[in-house]
Amino acid sequence: MTISDIARLAGVSKSTVSRVLTGSTPVREVLKSRVIKVIKKYNYSPNLAARSLSLKKTGTIGVILNLDPDYHFQDYVSMETLRGISVTATTSHIRLSIAIGSVASILPGIIAERSVDGVIIMGLRDGDIETLSPLSSDEVSPADTIPILLLNYSQEFKSYPSVAFSHEKDAYSLIRYLAGKGHKDIGIIECSPELIYIQNRKRGFLNAFKNLGMDFNDEWDIKINKVNENTAGKEAADYFLALQRRPTAIVASSDNIALSFMGRLLASGVKVPEDISIVGMDNIPISKYVHPALTTEVLDGFGRGKKACQMMCALINSEEIDDKHIFISSAIVERDSLLDIRTRKQRVYFLREKDGLYKG
Amino acid sequence: MTISDIARLAGVSKSTVSRVLTGSTPVREVLKSRVIKVIKKYNYSPNLAARSLSLKKTGTIGVILNLDPDYHFQDYVSMETLRGISVTATTSHIRLSIAIGSVASILPGIIAERSVDGVIIMGLRDGDIETLSPLSSDEVSPADTIPILLLNYSQEFKSYPSVAFSHEKDAYSLIRYLAGKGHKDIGIIECSPELIYIQNRKRGFLNAFKNLGMDFNDEWDIKINKVNENTAGKEAADYFLALQRRPTAIVASSDNIALSFMGRLLASGVKVPEDISIVGMDNIPISKYVHPALTTEVLDGFGRGKKACQMMCALINSEEIDDKHIFISSAIVERDSLLDIRTRKQRVYFLREKDGLYKG
DNA sequence: AATAGACTTGAAACCGGTTTCAAGTCTATA
DNA sequence: TATAGACTTGAAACCGGTTTCAAGTCTATT
The 10s digit of each residue's pLDDT in A73-128 is 668 899 899 999 999 999 999 999 999 999 999 999 999 999 999 999 998 887 88
Separation between Cα atoms, residue B221 and residue B228, nearest integer Å: 19
Residue A190 Cα to chain centre, angstroms: 19
**Cβ within 7 A of any strand D atom:** A 12-16, 19, 25-28, 30-31, 50, 53-54, 56; B 1-4, 14-15, 17-19, 21-22, 24-25, 46-47, 50-51, 53-55
User: pLDDT digits over A254-268, tens only?
Assistant: 998 999 899 889 988
Closest Cα partner for A148 from A129, A166, A165? A129
Q: Which of B45, B49, B97 sits opposite A49 (nearest CB)?
A: B49
The nucleotides of chain C lying under 7 Å from a protein CB are: 7-12, 14-20
Q: Which amino acid is at A199?
A: Q
User: A168 or A135, which is more confident?
Assistant: A168
pLDDT at B171: 97
Indicate the SS3 state at residue B69: coil
Which residues in chain A belong to E strands, given as ranges?
A: 60-65, 95-100, 118-122, 148-150, 162-165, 186-191, 221-224, 249-252, 277-282, 295-298, 325-328, 331-333, 339-340, 345-346, 357-358
Say how far B44 CA is from D21 C1', in Å.
28
Contact B256 A79 (CB under 8 A): no
Residue of A nearest to B293 (CA): A263
Residue of A nearest to B69 (CA): A87
Q: Do A152 and A103 meet the contact criterion of CB atoms below 8 Å apart? A: no
Residues A111 and A247 in one domain: no
Q: Do the domain assignments include residue B11?
A: yes
Residue of B nearest to A68 (CA): B87
Sign of the torsion angle spanned by Cα atoms B134, B137, B143, B145:
positive
Find all residues with CB under 8 Å of A308, minimum gap 6, and list them: A81, A84, A85, A120, A149, A151, A163
Indicate the SS3 state at residue A178: helix
Q: Is B56 left (phi over 0), alpha (psi -120 to 50) or beta?
A: left
Separation between Cα atoms, residue A159 and residue B231, nearest integer Å: 44
Q: Do the domain assignments include residue B119?
A: yes
Interchain CB contacts (distance < 8 Å): A and B: 180
Show the CA angle centred on residue A101, arms to residues A100 and A102, nearest 5°.
145
- Report whether the peptide linkage leading into residue A273 is cis, meaning its omega lies within 30 degrees of zero: yes
Specify the nucleotide whose C1' lies closest to residue A51 (CA): C17
Q: Do the domain assignments include residue A346?
A: yes
Say how far B264 CA is from D14 C1', in Å.
67
B57 CB inside 7 Å of strand C: no
Task: State which H helix or E strand residue A36 sits in.
Answer: helix A29-42
Say how far B44 CA is from C17 C1', in Å.
24
Residues A348 and A215 in one domain: yes
Residues B186 and B259 in one domain: yes
A3 CB inside 7 Å of strand C: yes
The CATH number of the domain holding residue A311 is 3.40.50.2300
Q: Do the domain assignments include residue A323?
A: yes
Contacts of A88 in chain B (CB under 8 A): none
Contact B115 A48 (CB under 8 A): yes
A57 CB inside 7 Å of strand C: no
Task: State which H helix or E strand residue B346 sits in.
Answer: strand B345-346
A55 CB inside 7 Å of strand C: yes
Say how far B108 CA is from C29 C1', in Å.
53
Task: State which H helix or E strand residue B167 sits in.
Answer: helix B167-180
Closest Cα partner for B12 from B32, B42, B37? B32
pLDDT at B42: 94
Q: Please, what is the average pLDDT of chain A? A: 89
Residues of chain B with pLDDT under 50: 350-354, 359-360
Sequential DSSP letters for A83-114: HHHHHHHHHTT-EEEEEES-HHHHHHHHHHTT
B12 CB inside 7 Å of strand C: yes
Q: Do the domain assignments include residue A40?
A: yes
Residues A321 and A191 in one domain: no
Residue of A nearest to B261 (CA): A289
Contact B97 A97 (CB under 8 A): yes
User: A127 or A3, which is more confident?
Assistant: A3
Say how far B28 CA is from C2 C1', in Å.
27
Residues A158 and A176 in one domain: no
Counting the structural domains of chain B, the total is 3
Residues B189 and B275 in one domain: yes
Q: Which amino acid is at A184?
A: K
User: pLDDT digits over A178-236, tens only?
Assistant: 999 999 999 999 988 888 899 999 999 999 999 999 988 899 999 988 666 667 888 99
Span between the terminal Cα atoms of chain B, in Å: 57
Task: State which H helix or E strand residue B296 sits in.
Answer: strand B295-298
Q: Do A115 and A122 meet the contact criterion of CB atoms below 8 Å apart? A: no
Tell whether the model's pLDDT for residue A350 goes beyond 60: no
Q: Do B251 and B186 meet the contact criterion of CB atoms below 8 Å apart? A: yes
Say how far A105 CA is from D28 C1', in Å.
49
Contacts of A266 in chain B (CB under 8 A): 291
Q: Do B236 and B265 meet the contact criterion of CB atoms below 8 Å apart? A: no
Contacts of B102 in chain A (CB under 8 A): none
Contact A290 B288 (CB under 8 A): no
Contact A58 B49 (CB under 8 A): yes
Show the CA angle centred on residue B170, arms to residues B169 and B171, nearest 5°.
95
Separation between Cα atoms, residue B130 and residue B147, nearest integer Å: 17
Q: Which of B45, B99, B113 sits opposite A112 (nearest CB)?
A: B45
User: pLDDT digits over A304-325, tens only?
Assistant: 999 999 999 999 999 999 999 9
Q: Do the domain assignments include residue A212?
A: yes
Residues B349 and B282 in one domain: yes
Q: Do the domain assignments include residue B54?
A: no
Residue of B nearest to A43 (CA): B112
According to DSSP, the β-strands at B339-340 and B345-346 are: antiparallel
Residue of A nearest to B238 (CA): A351
Task: State which H helix or E strand residue A310 sits in.
Answer: helix A301-316
Residues B149 and B221 in one domain: no
Separation between Cα atoms, residue B86 and residue A100, nearest integer Å: 6
pLDDT at A195: 84
Residues A175 and A28 in one domain: no
* Cα separations in angstroms, A304 against A132, A319, A324, B283: 22, 20, 14, 28
Indicate the SS3 state at residue B148: strand
Residues B65 and B140 in one domain: yes
Separation between Cα atoms, residue B124 and residue A127, nearest integer Å: 41
Residues A76 and A113 in one domain: yes
For residues A65, A71, A72 and A73, what is the CA-based torsion angle, rounded to 10 degrees? Answer: -20
Specify the nucleotide whose C1' lies closest to residue A55 (CA): C18
A27 CB inside 7 Å of strand C: no
Which residues in A283-334 belong to E strands, given as ranges?
A: 295-298, 325-328, 331-333
Domain that holds residue A111: 60-166+303-328
Say how far B12 CA is from C9 C1', in Å.
9
According to DSSP, the β-strands at A295-298 and A331-333 are: antiparallel
Tell whether the model's pLDDT for residue A162 goes beyond 80: yes
Residue of A nearest to B40 (CA): A112
Separation between Cα atoms, residue B48 and residue A49, nearest integer Å: 8
| Interface with A, mutate which of B97, B113, B241, B353 (most A CBs under 10 A) | B113
Cβ burial of A256 (10 Å; 0-12, 13-18, 19+) is buried
Indicate the SS3 state at residue A155: helix
Q: Do B123 and B67 meet the contact criterion of CB atoms below 8 Å apart? A: yes
Q: Do the domain assignments include residue B52?
A: no
| Interface with B, mutate which of A290, A337, A352 (most B CBs under 10 A) | A290
Say how far B10 CA is from C15 C1', in Å.
26
Separation between Cα atoms, residue B298 and residue B284, nearest integer Å: 8
Sequential DSSP letters for B88-143: HHHHTT-EEEEEES-HHHHHHHHHHHT--SEEEEES--GGGHHHHGGGGSTTS-GG
Sequential DSSP letters for B188-234: EEEESTTSHHHHHHHHHHHHHHHHTT----GGGEEEE--S-HHHHHH
Specify the nucleotide whose C1' lies closest to residue A30 (CA): D8
pLDDT at B140: 57
Closest Cα partner for A199 from A155, A236, A260, A256? A155
Nearest chain A Cα distance for residue B53, angstroms = 5
Query: Helices (H), strands (E): how many in chain A?
Result: 12, 15
Sign of the torsion angle spanned by Cα atoms B156, B158, B162, B163:
positive
Contacts of A101 in chain B (CB under 8 A): 86-87, 90
What strands lie across the sheet with B295-298, from one edge to the other? B221-224, B186-191, B249-252, B277-282, B295-298, B331-333, B357-359
Residues A182 and A279 in one domain: yes
Separation between Cα atoms, residue B248 and residue A158, nearest integer Å: 58
pLDDT at A354: 47
- Percent above pLDDT 90 for chain A: 72
The CATH number of the domain holding residue A33 is 1.10.260.40
